[in-house]
Amino acid sequence: MFKRFQKVLFAGVVALGVGAGSAQAGDFGFGYDCHHEIGYEKIVTYVCKEIPYTRCITLYDHCGEPYTVHKTFYKTVHVPVIKYVPISYDY
């Protein structure tokens, strides 16, 4: 009986601890400091990433005979990155 109660109590404590400290995606907004109002602004920046891809190309040996080879090439792509920056508004 005591073990069952202990398990239920432990599960409740864990659930309260996990729920109290977790932040959701929509939790950004306004907070209050002593004399400042703090808000968050969404800023989109772009980062360059190199994406590998393979192509089948035809090469020729020293006798002029063709043969195919799979070569890896890299393409540069701009990827958007979203950041939230805190902004302080004075009264």
Q: With respect to residue 7, please indicate whether it lies within any of the assigned structural domains.
A: no
Q: With respect to residue 18, please indicate whether it lies within any of the assigned structural domains.
A: no
Q: With respect to residue 17, please indicate whether it lies within any of the assigned structural domains.
A: no
Q: With respect to residue 21, please indicate whether it lies within any of the assigned structural domains.
A: no
Q: With respect to residue 3, please indicate whether it lies within any of the assigned structural domains.
A: no
The answer on pLDDT for 7 being more than 60 is: no
Q: What pLDDT is attached to residue 15?
A: 54
**Rounded CA separation 21/42 (Å):** 23
Tally of CA atoms within 13 A in the half-sphere of 40 that contains its CB: 13
Average pLDDT, the chain: 75
* Count of domains observed in the chain: 1
Q: With respect to residue 85, please indicate whether it lies within any of the assigned structural domains.
A: yes
35: amino acid identity, one letter: H
> Which residue range forms the structural domain that includes residue 60?
27-90
